[in-house]
A and B are shown apart, each in its own frame.
Chain A
Amino acid sequence: MASTIRVRATSSGETTEVQALIQHPMDSGYVKDAKGDLIPPHFIQELTFEYDGKSVFVADWGPAVSKDPYVKFSFKGGKKGDDLKISWVDNKGASDTATAKIQ
């Protein structure tokens, strides 16, 4: 299966800017399907970014985060060519992990 995580991490020398786009339905539990049945909640709860063995950013999400969520942040340090590890876990226990090279 192709990765659900797309990340671009760009180093400016001093800081590294990270933009991530994740494929996930982020169902809130309040929306009905075509038959009128409620679609049960299904959303990413925790998204973690790790650099050099330490987490540099942790997102705790509720179902109000938009479908196919996007997030952007920056951290100090981060060298070009180094790895940034990204992982998420959703409320059903599914998860995915990806590693991106800092550009």
Chain B
Amino acid sequence: MTTPLDGFPATRRLILKGAGAVALFGFGRLSLGPALAAANDKYPEDAFKQKSDADAIKSLYGKTAEASDKVKLDAPEIAENGAVVPISVSSTLADVTSISILVAENPNALAASYRIPVGTLPSVANRLKMAKTTNVIAIVEAGGKLYSASKEVKVTVGGCGG
């Protein structure tokens, strides 16, 4: 049951909501705005600095992904050399605008993000470094929504040296 907007209570609620939002976002998240804009046309510096995969996705896209079998992630079961692990991602979804690949256990989870203009097929192959056995997460942005697939890759020799 919603009450009709009768002026005072709604206004008060809005003010409280606004204050809450400022408290939530005003503190330490000043970079959120520019980071979101960056996902489309500029190098997403902030997203690459995030440590966890969840934070990197949030910084890059500002939303969360749902698992989808329309995202296909090809990765080896076992990678003998973590310095060179072939990974490919493709999707049968329509209107794909970007594909990102994250390596959860790396010092910075986001490995690569690809912008897919209209007319380019939603399929990309590359080679990534992995520090140790890790989940690899593929994110596909299609029609403004995020879809994901993940797979564990067992790494025999880590690719981050040291």
Residues of A within 8 A of B (CB): 15, 26, 28, 30-32, 45-46, 54-67, 69-77
Contacts of A72 in B (CB 8 A): 88, 124-126
New A-B pairs, 12, CB < 8 Å, besides A64-B103, A71-B126, A73-B123: A28-B160, A55-B115, A57-B114, A64-B106, A64-B108, A64-B110, A64-B129, A70-B127, A71-B124, A73-B125, A74-B121, A76-B121
Contact between B120 and A64 (Cβ–Cβ < 8 Å)?
Answer: no
CB contacts (< 8 Å) of B120 on chain A: these are: 56-57, 73-76
Is B19 interfacial (CB-CB < 8 Å)?
no
Contact B117 A65 (CB under 8 A): no
Q: Residue on B with the closest CB to A58?
A: B115
> Could you mark each residue 103-143 of chain B with 1 if its beta carbon is under 8 Å from any beta carbon of chain A, else 0?
10011101111111101110111111111000000000000
**Can you list 10 A-B contacts (CB < 8 A)?**
A28-B161, A30-B160, A57-B114, A57-B120, A59-B114, A60-B44, A60-B112, A64-B106, A64-B128, A73-B124
Chain A positions within 8 Å of B121 at CB level? 15, 73-76
Q: Return A29 CB to nearest CB of chain B, in Å.
A: 9
CB distance from A84 to the nearest CB of B (A): 12
Across the interface, A54 reaches (CB within 8 A) one of B84, B85, B117, B124, namely B117
Residues of chain A lying within 8 A (CB to CB) of residue B117? 54-58
